[in-house]
A and B are shown apart, each in its own frame.
Chain A
Amino acid sequence: MRRVMELYGTQGWLTLGGAALLFMVIIPLLNLALPPEHVFHVPDHIVALMGKIMCYAIVALAMDLIWGYTGILSLGHGLFFALGGYAMGMYLMRAIGREGMYGSDLPDFMVFLDWKELPWYWLGSDHFGFALLLVILAPGLLALVFGYFAFRSRVKGVYFAIITQALTFAFMLLFFRNETGFGGNNGFTDFKRILGFPLANPSTKVALFITTAFTLLAVLLLCRFIVCSKLGRVLTAIRDAESRLMFSGYDPLHYKLFVWTLSAVLCGIAGALYVPQVGIINPSEMSPANSIEIAVWVALGGRGSLAGAILGAGLVNGAKSWLTVAFPDIWLYFLGLLFILTTLFIPKGVIGLIGQLRGRPK
């Protein structure tokens, strides 16, 4: 407990507590309790947007852990995110029951493909607990196996980035096929309820929002705990001087594998929270472009800073949801320039910039 208390200083804990209060109590109250015409009412679409961004923030934390602290750039984190989403989506599809368009026990797309029974890998998807298990196991096991082989043969740097990109590309192609059994290019959508609560209800939405906020807080504390521990020191050492670390008697394989798998699992959890709030999951989430966008959130916010990762996810996605509606032509220019300018001019990200402005070194 003492070690947990030492994660942040007094000021840090106060900020964190304030943010938690804001997102877990005040915003939900302002959304639910106040009438829509009230000045302080938080509209539904803002709540939905913030919920989405908090999911992205979890992904950004996971990315920061593996890239910012360990120095391994993954261009496949969108895959783990989508796998978690698909695992949750399978449960949500089953929870529709007979209310689908064809009124069948099977999900609509299976009826459409003229399938008579569930494929074996859908077994157990009726149970929420099993879905949660799958959310962790699917990305976790894939990351574990892939990471084991990649790190064992010391694939690193750019090569690692490129083969993770190929991996997510391959999975995208796989999930686009109807025969794979995950709804082809339409993916899963038209969800009705989760744990018996209708997804269209405002209270269900707010509950999901609060759950996401709570998860984000927990993930932040977990990541903080890791980077402040001895393990975190080793990770930073892998980033900065891997050969020197090896000569000091450490085997980087296990450390890399641990943080890589953990990072993938966190992404999966974020995906599982994302899908019921957004109401759709399809293979385009696995496109290489999505995964590389995650890297720019972290780069903009500030690599090697957990707060920076969250900030970056918020800034980029906030700008995205505003620009794609207001100036759809500008968005790609904005994103492209963001990639170029952050790498050229602010390698430490916005957090580093704020630090510089305050006159502190680093």
Chain B
Amino acid sequence: MTAVKFAKHQRCLASILLVLLTGKAWALDAASLNTLAAGEVNKKIAVVEQLVNAGDAAALPVLEALSTGTLYTTETGAVVIVTPAAALDALTGKPAAVEPLEKISINNRLRQHLNTAIAALRLAAPDRALRLAAAMELQKSAGDALLPLIERRLQQEQDAEIKSLLRNVQANLRLRAPERELRLQAVKDLARNPSNHIKSLLLARIENGADGKPAEPDAEVRQAIHSAVAAIDRELKKVEYLSHLFSGLSLGSILLLAALGLAITFGLMGIINMAHGELLMIGAYATYVVQILFKHYWPGAFDGYLLAAVPVSFITAALVGMALERSVIRHLYGRPLETLLATWGISLLLIQTVRVMFGAQNVAVDNPSWMSGAWTVTPGLVLPYNRIAIIFFALFVVALVWVLLNRTRLGLYLRAVTQNRNMAACMGIPTPKVDLLAFGLGSGIAGLGGCALSQIGNVGPELGQSYIVDSFMVVVLGGVGQLAGTIVAALGLGEINKFLEPYAGAVLGKIIILVMIIIFIQKRPQGLFALKGRSAES
């Protein structure tokens, strides 16, 4: 019984479709308005469908008014839209001088059709958010008659997200087409735009329904669906792989930024700086302060605050680092275990000072607008802009460090002091000054890392504590004194972490990595890239 009714309904819609495709485009006119106002429900629905298929944007306010109950008839038989300000003539959109009389009522069946119709018309709206909401609405409710309209919109739509939503709607509709050839073509088209949604749509066509038969009657089409699903699976796997690769790269660049400063202070200079994490934290708080200042004094240039925050965080952390070197660390050279304890004490002091100054709670650091949002490569592969920015920032910092170490006098001195302190001193290199500057440089790089970290995570007094173990792991794994080792270790750890996560879970993955590092250090105590030659053993 219901099946017969459904078929009838479909035929009815199909005939409308036929009229639409062959006949003239329908637009809002007095006759259709009258039907909407006074006709019987079936006729009203027909009018709504016609308006939608004509894609008449002028009809949208009328339909919206009908849906929200602000469409009224007047004594003269005209139809008006009542807004809080005035009553507008539905046909012309001009203020009407007549008193509204009676609200045009609608029932649930009409309301469903109206919702779909409004969504379909809104697909042409200039506002992206409206179009997006409309596309979402159509996911649930689009009927076969909407297919040509959606295909038209698909050609005009520019936004990737909306486009993919519309494509899903289109696919769903085309898969139910009565002609076998059309369905076959639809399956082929669908395989080209893989997503989980489309996969489940396709699977629904070949799964056995309540009557024990699949929804798709034709064996050849079913076969095509099977191979399409397999192709989509392969494609999805690839996308998943790429997204793991990206998040691994992102995590790796974060680790690299956190560890790069330590690669100088610990790796080159041999200072066990347990307060390294707190220098990261200071960089993050410096960014926070710059952000507050911009908000307060120069809100117009807020998007540019990061450009100012980068040097500020570098200088703040570098100054703190140099003060530490002068006051404490200098007296402990050659006593690494004591340095470890004293710098741990420094870290406690810094944490508590920040807590007193800024409070124990996390502070909010807002992304500039150009860093929020994401680049949607495909529906399954969404790359947030701030992560991309951090990858490039990490590249920039690595380049900076490389140039400083290999192309400047300070770098030359630093490498000389690292390799043989006494000989360097004999050659007239002021080693205490080099120590001071090098420690300042390492601390400043940590400040840059903190500036970057503030863009992706919470900024609080304990920020540094969560990175200190990771940072040391990266430097030790990479091999002390090796910039390249640090880079490889950071990126490698990031990638391994992200590829382990789906199988082992975040915490267990991290534990596995720590155990792997511990085992690795047993095997190669000098790290990935061991120093060779005389300076290696000391």
Contacts and interface: CB of A to CB of B under 8 A. Distances in A.
A166 interface: yes
B476 interface: yes
Contacts of B52: none
A150 interface: yes
Contacts of B338: 343, 347
Contacts of A340: 328, 342, 345-346, 349
Contacts of A295: 341
A73 to B, nearest CB: 5
Given A176-B507, A332-B352, A335-B345, A155 B337 contact: no
Contact of B522 (A155, A158, A166, A170): A155
B517 interface: yes
Contacts of B328: 340, 344
Interface in A340-360: 340, 342-344, 347
Interface in B255-310: 272, 274
B521 A155 contact: yes
Interface string A244-261: 000000000000000000
B511 A174 contact: yes
A292 interface: yes
Given A159-B525, A169-B469, A173-B511, A335 B340 contact: no
B498 to A, nearest CB: 17
Contacts, number: 115
B38 interface: no
B473 A336 contact: no
Nearest to A341: B345
B342 A343 contact: yes
B522 A149 contact: yes
A37 to B, nearest CB: 40
Interface in A119-143: none
A295 B345 CA distance: 12
A73 B469 contact: no
B523 A159 contact: no
A32 interface: no
Interface size class of A (residues with CB under 8 A): 35 or more
A66 to B, nearest CB: 12
B351 interface: yes
B508 interface: yes
Nearest to B342: A343
Interface in B497-524: 507-508, 510-511, 514-515, 517-519, 521-523
A158 B336 contact: yes
A161 B468 CA distance: 13
A197 to B, nearest CB: 38
Contacts of A162: 472-473, 476
A114 interface: no
A170 B515 contact: yes
A185 to B, nearest CB: 12
B529 interface: no
Given A166-B473, A344-B328, A338 B345 contact: yes
Interface string A150-178: 10111101110111011101100110110
Contacts of A176: 507
B331 interface: yes
Query: What is the interface of chain B mostly: helix, strand, loop, or mixed?
Result: helix
A300 to B, nearest CB: 10
Interface string B338-368: 1111101111110110011000000000000
Contact of B352 (A296, A336, A344): A336
A149 B515 CA distance: 13
Contacts of A343: 332, 335, 338-339, 341-342, 345
B518 A173 contact: no
Contact of B469 (A154, A166, A174): A166
A117 interface: no
A181 B348 CA distance: 33
B525 A155 contact: yes
A161 B355 CA distance: 28
Contact of B511 (A149, A170, A338, A339): A170
Nearest to A165: B469
Contacts of B525: 153-155, 159
A336 B346 contact: yes
B522 A153 contact: yes
Contacts of A335: 345, 348
A158 B337 contact: yes
Contact of B342 (A153, A173, A339): A339
Interface string B144-176: 000000000000000000000000000000000
A169 B518 CA distance: 12
Given A73-B337, A165-B469, A344-B332, A158 B345 contact: no
A264 interface: no
Contact of A167 (B341, B345, B507, B518): B518
B149 to A, nearest CB: 51
Nearest to A288: B469
Nearest to A151: B522
A60 to B, nearest CB: 15
Given A162-B476, A343-B335, 6 more contacts: A153-B522, A163-B476, A166-B473, A169-B469, A332-B351, A343-B341
- By Cβ-Cβ distance, the 9 closest A-B pairs, closest first, are A339-B345, A336-B348, A336-B349, A332-B352, A170-B514, A340-B345, A336-B345, A343-B338, A343-B342
20 contacts: A73-B337, A150-B522, A152-B522, A155-B525, A158-B336, A159-B521, A162-B476, A163-B521, A166-B469, A166-B472, A173-B507, A296-B341, A333-B348, A336-B346, A336-B347, A337-B349, A339-B348, A340-B345, A342-B341, A343-B342
